[in-house]
Amino acid sequence: MKGTAIVWYRNDLRVQDHQSLFLATHSHQRVITYYTFDPTHYQTTSWGFKKTEKYRAQFLIETVRALQKELEALNITLVIGQKSPRVELPNLINQWNATHVYLQKEWTSEEQNTLREVQKNCVESVVFSEHYDQFLFHPSDIPFEIQQLPEVFTQFRKQCEAKASVRPLILEVQCMPKENILSERYSTPSLYDLGLDNPSQDSRTAFPFKGGTQAGKERMQYYGWESKKLSYYKKTRNGLLGKDYSSKYSAWLANGSLSPRTIYWDLMDYERNVEKNQSTYWLFFELVWRDYFKYISLKHRNYIFYLGGIKDRDYAWKNDTQTVLQWIEGQTAEPFVNANMLELKNTGWMSNRGRQNVASYLTKNLHMDWRIGAAYFEAMLIDYDVHSNYGNWMYVAGVGNDPRDRKFNISLQAQRYDSKGAYQKKWLQNTLFS
C-alpha cells in the first residue's frame, strides 16, 4: 500500500460507482477527500449574472453535506474549503505529504486551467491520476475516435447502441481504518457566505427535491419502482406541471451525486422485472443525448463557448440589455415564454419543453447573442451541466448539432403543450393573462 492520497471532488459528488475513490481506498494507507466552494464559481460574470445562483448553490450545499456523512461512515474525512483550489489544494498536499491526487477528468477550459495551476504549485513527484467517470459509454468503448465523432446525434446513438456497451458499476469503496479520519470536522458554507440570498420555497415548483445521493436514489425508487411513472415517461416527458411529468434525474447527474451507470443499471433491472417499453427506452435515449453533448464538447473543446459555435456561423446577433431583461423577467410578447421564465426565476427549474421554447425565442425571434441565455441558465438552473447547457443552446441557436436549424412557433407550442392554459395561469397569475 502506498502513502497518502487525496481524492479531489468536483462534479462527481458521490461515494458509489466512483473510480477515483475506489482506486484511492484500495491503493493507499491513508485517504483524504477534498471539495471546495471555489469563490470564482460565485462571482458575477462578464454577462452580468452570478456564475452560480442560490438555487443550484443550495442543492450543492445539501449534496456536499450528504457526501460528507457517507464518507465519514467509511472513516474518510471530507475537507471542505472556500478558497481557490489553485492555492488551497497544494497546501493540503504539502501538509499531509500526499503522493497521489485522484480526480475526475475534465476537459473544458476553466477546469483544465485550474488543474494546471494546482500542478504548477506542487512538487513534481505528486502523481495526478485522472479518470473519465461521468459518461454512460466510456470513451474507450465508443466505436469512434473522438475527432471522427458524428455531428448528428442519430448516427452517434445508432452506432453506440449497436457496438458499445455500458460498463458495470465500479466495486464498493474500501472502508478505511478508524485512524484514517481526521480530528477536525469541516462545515459547508452558508449561502450568505457565498454572497447569495436564501431561496424561498415556491409552492408551485416542479423540483421540490434535496441534494445528495440518497435523495437521488429515493427519487429513482419512487419514479420507477413505486409509482411506475417510468413506464409512461415518453408520454409525459413534455409536460409542464408537477414533479412527475419527467424523471428529474438531471440535477443529481449534473453534480455527479448519481452516475449515469447507476441510473442505467437500475433501468435494466426495471425492464427485466417490471416492464420494457418505449418509455423505458426513452430514458436510455436521454442518457445517450447527455453523453453526446459531452463528446461534442470533448471533440470541439472551447468552440462550444464561441459566438459562431462549432459550426462557426456568422449571424447578426444583438446584445440589448433591456430586451434581455424583459426575457428574464417574463415580460415578452409571448405569455408561454413569460411563464417559463418566471418559473425559472422563482424555482431554479424549467421543463425541457420550456427550455427549448425560451431559447428559440431569445435567439430566433429576438436575435440576441445565444451565449447570454446560456450564461443565465448557468446561473439559475439547479441541474446546470456545462456540456448539456452549451450543447443545447448551440443546437437551438443554429450554431450546433441541429442539421435543420429549426425555429419554434411559440404560439403553436403553447397550444399543443398547454392547451387549456393551466401552466401559464399558474405562473402568470399576478399578471395580465389572455
Structural domains present in the chain = 1-133 (3.40.50.620), 134-168+213-301 (1.25.40.80), 306-427 (1.10.579.10)
Q: Which amino acid is at 1?
A: M
pLDDT value, residue 403: 82
Question: Can you give the chain as a three-state secondary structure string?
Answer: CEEEEEEECCCCCCCCCCHHHHHHHHHEEEEEEEEECCHHHHCECCCCCECCCHHHHHHHHHHHHHHHHHHHCCCCCEEEECCCHHHHHHHHHHHHCCCEEEEECCCCHHHHHHHHHHHHCCCCCCEEEEECCCCCCCCCCCCCCHHHCCCCHHHHHHHHHHHCCCCCCCCCCCCCCHHHCCCCCCCCCCCCCCCCCCCCCCCCCCCCCCCCHHHHHHHHHHHHHHCCHHHHHHHHCCCCCCCCCCCCCHHHHHCCCCCHHHHHHHHHHHHHHCCCCHHHHHHHHHHHHHHHHHHHHHHHHHHHHCCCHHHCCCCCCECCHHHHHHHHCCCCCCHHHHHHHHHHHHHCCCCHHHHHHHHHHHHHHCCECHHHHHHHHHHHCCCCCHHHHHHHHHHHHCCCCCCCCCCCCHHHHHHHHCCCCHHHHHHCCCCCCC
Q: Which residue has the cell 449534496?
A: 63
Q: Hey, which residues does 102 pair with through a beta bridge?
A: 7, 129
Angle CA 204–339–416, to nearest 5: 105
CB atoms within 10 A of CB 431: 13
Residues 6+ apart with CB under 8 A from 384: 52, 56, 254, 377, 378
pTM of the predicted model as reported, rounded to 2 decimal places: 0.97
User: What's the CA gap between 374 and 208, in Å, rounded?
Assistant: 24
Low-confidence residues of the chain: pLDDT under 50: 432-434
User: What's the CA gap between 238 and 22, in Å, rounded?
Assistant: 38
By the 10 Å C-beta count (0-12 exposed, 13-18 middle, 19+ buried), 178 is classed as exposed
By the 10 Å C-beta count (0-12 exposed, 13-18 middle, 19+ buried), 265 is classed as middle
pLDDT value, residue 421: 98
